[in-house]
Structure 1
Amino acid sequence: GGGGGGGARMRAGGGGVSRGAGPWVGRPLEVDAPAENQPLAMRRLFVFILLFGSIALAPRANAQQLNCTVSVNYSALTGNEFQFLGELREELVRYLNDRSWTGDVFQDRERINCSFQIVFTFAEGLSRFQAQIVVGASRPIYGTQQRTTVFLVQDDNWTFEYGQGRNLVYSPNSFDSFISVIDFYAFLILGYDYDSFDELGGQEFFEEAREIFELGRGVNAEGWFLVGDERTRGALITQLLDPRFDPLRKAHFQYHYGVLDHFATDHEQAWDDAMAIIRALNELYQDFNTRRFATDIFFSAKHEEIALLLADFPERADAYELLIEMDTQHQTTYDEMVQ
């Protein structure tokens, strides 16, 4: 089952990363894919994860915890004067991958695969911009050669200053409209990743992200307000650190460690654990009587995977009813699960 305190990214001795107890300890990441006699839905699940859940990246020799790719698109901005933005991609790759975001030491294969996609949408002069950013991260599934998306978010509300020739410098005690957003999402990537290996294991990284939010809110920066249930950075980090949302973060761990990491070896137990997770998430939904941003993030990353995972589950009709109640925007995907 998917009990607490499982295959963690834990600090071991001098800060080396180990994956605690459970299936990860002392075992290689690369194991044969599912056997042919396993349920069709399970084989389809791994094909889906291979196609859509992986963010395949080339390693960098001097990388630390993150292994990020970056894409920058400024085609919406007219004029040759914006050519300097073409240098931003390499700058961000170096910034994200070369610095150490935590005291934990990662082996090369343990670095977190992630992606930042930045699309410039508007320019005010040559140094003030509006952009959309899409951030994603994935992690391996134990017992397979596949990966699964652990975090995926699209942020359309980003206005910032970025001038030609600028150097990107980490400055945790001051707010910057550009680099603070990058830092915020880097810490969210770490938090979600650690939460997937250990129950509430990403707490320290979410707290780092909250400090950035407080800095942004302190200067009334756009996109950092905390307004009700709106999809803002402030709403997301506040929910993640709200103890009332601990069931969501625990479900995130149990889903990755208890369900996905064990699916190849005991899919029936994984099915039961998945159903328990769905019930727990539905209880959380009932408590708030509405969807929340943090819950939407979970289902945005997982709805197709869940539908494939449960396609051969005998109790999938019960799971379906709970899922469409709390995740109506993905009902079409869940419909396929029960057809």
Structure 2
Amino acid sequence: MKKGFFLLLFFCNSLIGFSQELNFTVIINSDRARIQNTNVFSQMKTSFEQFLNGRSWTSDEFRPEERIKGNLLITINDVPQVGTYNATVQIQTVRPVYGTNYESLVFNFADRSWSFDYIESQPLEFNRFTYLNNISSLLAFYAHIALGLDYDSFESRGGSEFFAAANDIVNNAQQSGRPGWVQSTSDRRNRYSLNNDIYISSVFSVIRDAYYLYHRQGLDILQIRPEEAYTNILEAVRILASANKTQPNGIFTISFMDAKSDEITSIMKNASLEIRTEIVQLLLEIDPNNARKYNELLKS
């Protein structure tokens, strides 16, 4: 079990309910909406945060400081009719690094196609095996993705049960006809593609191994065994490069680099020239648009 169990916490939870695993902040940008009743967005924020943070998603016990911190930035692009919203969503989660005060960005993903109906004060329910509405399905999907990646970062393939739940959510939501749940040739930055890469694809699912190498065998030991940490981070990037060579520009690959490109260039500055040379070569293959940033590593 990844999270520790404490008798005192159990006693407190017996009074106030089970511990929750998520600590998300929801931010709603409604500048483009151009509607007079902006109070609905305050209620929306509260409702979405309660849905994410106010329930137990696992059977594990989490101490308050262990809850997975994240941001959900919702940009309302259009309100085609009263109560219907078209939006884009950016999801970010962080993970503490052992023995430090540093928090590493684990997940950074922009979902460009979310359409939903919201009625003020409506309750949000969730059932893993039944599609109820497009709000609870999207929020629950990303809650499980966040949990899966976090667990993967602490234990090899530790997040499998959460990715299986996310896959169920995608399959159930396809009946809704809403964008983002089915394969799209115009824009692959959606739930369908992310789920496919993480859970279905044999090419990209190996990137889950990179999450464990990078975080538990890399960042977490960087202060005490730096050379071993650099080697493991390099191996994580090799896994990413291999997947990208087989099938370029996968959504899971892009998501990993969106979260890690700045961090890699920062922490690898003190690695040996041999390791820096190889990792730069791999990064240029994976993410050539940031070539200038990666080449700076060779000047250290």
TM above 0.5? yes
Give the letter aligned to residue 252 of structure 2. Answer: A
In the alignment, is residue 124 of structure 1 matched against residue 84 of structure 2? no
Distance 1:219 1:134 in 2: 22
Give the letter aligned to residue 258 of structure 2. Answer: S
Report if the CA contact (8 A) 2:94-2:103 is conserved: yes
Greater CA deviation, 62-71 or 181-190? Answer: 62-71
Equivalent runs, 1:70-219 vs 2, <5 Å:
70-172=26-128, 173-219=130-176
Q: Which runs of 5+ in 1 are unaligned?
A: 1-9, 12-16, 20-60
Give deviations 1:191-243, integer Å, cap 9, x for gaps: 11001001111111111111111112133221111246822210111110133
* Deviation of 1:332 (Å): 2.6
Report if the CA contact (8 A) 2:87-2:112 is conserved: yes
Q: Are residues 101 and 79 of structure 1, via their aligned partners in 2, closer, same or farther at CA, if it must alter by over 3 Å?
A: same
Query: Which residue in the other structure is 2:297 paired with?
Result: 337
Give the letter aligned to residue 307 of structure 1. Answer: T
Query: What's the % identity of the aligned pairs?
Result: 29
Query: Which residue in the other structure is 2:256 paired with?
Result: 298
Distance 1:79 1:271 in 2: 51
Over 3 Å off, 4+ runs: none
Query: Which residue in the other structure is 1:238 paired with?
Result: 196
Equivalent runs, 1:268-283 vs 2, <5 Å:
268-283=227-242
Q: Are residues 278 and 167 of structure 1, via their aligned partners in 2, closer, same or farther at CA, if it must alter by over 3 Å?
A: same
Report if the CA contact (8 A) 1:65-1:106 is conserved: yes
Structure with greater helix percent: 2
Give deviations 1:150-192, integer Å, cap 9, x for gaps: 1111112111111223222223312412221111111111011
Report if the CA contact (8 A) 1:196-1:252 is conserved: yes
Give deviations 1:122-162, integer Å, cap 9, x for gaps: 00121111111111111110111111011111112111111
Distance 2:139 2:45 in 1: 12
Query: Which residue in the other structure is 1:258 paired with?
Result: 217
Distance 2:47 2:77 in 1: 20
TM-score, normalization by structure 2: 0.89
SS state at 1:178 partner: helix
SS state at 2:24 partner: strand
Equivalent runs, 1:60-75 vs 2, <5 Å:
64-75=20-31
Give aligned pairs, total.
283
* Deviation of 1:261 (Å): 0.2
Which residue of the other structure, out of 273, 280, 283, is the alignment partner of 1:320? 280
Distance 1:215 1:175 in 2: 9
Q: Are residues 76 and 18 of structure 1, via their aligned partners in 2, closer, same or farther at CA, if it must alter by over 3 Å?
A: same
Report if the CA contact (8 A) 2:4-2:61 is conserved: no
Greater CA deviation, 68-77 or 222-231? Answer: 222-231
Give the letter aligned to residue 96 of structure 2. Answer: P
* Deviation of 1:272 (Å): 1.5
Give deviations 1:27-77, integer Å, cap 9, x for gaps: xxxxxxxxxxxxxxxxxxxxxxxxxxxxxxxxxx87611111111121222
TM-score, normalization by structure 1: 0.79
Q: Are residues 230 and 93 of structure 1, via their aligned partners in 2, closer, same or farther at CA, if it must alter by over 3 Å?
A: closer
* Deviation of 1:85 (Å): 2.1
Distance 1:232 1:329 in 2: 21
Report if the CA contact (8 A) 2:112-2:189 is conserved: no
Report if the CA contact (8 A) 1:126-1:163 is conserved: no
Give the letter aligned to residue 205 of structure 1. Answer: F
Q: Which runs of 5+ in 2 are unaligned?
A: 6-15
Distance 1:304 1:122 in 2: 32
Distance 2:35 2:194 in 1: 36
Distance 1:280 1:238 in 2: 18
Higher relative contact order (CA 8 A, sep 6+): 1
Report if the CA contact (8 A) 1:131-1:159 is conserved: yes
* Deviation of 1:245 (Å): 2.5
* Deviation of 1:82 (Å): 4.1
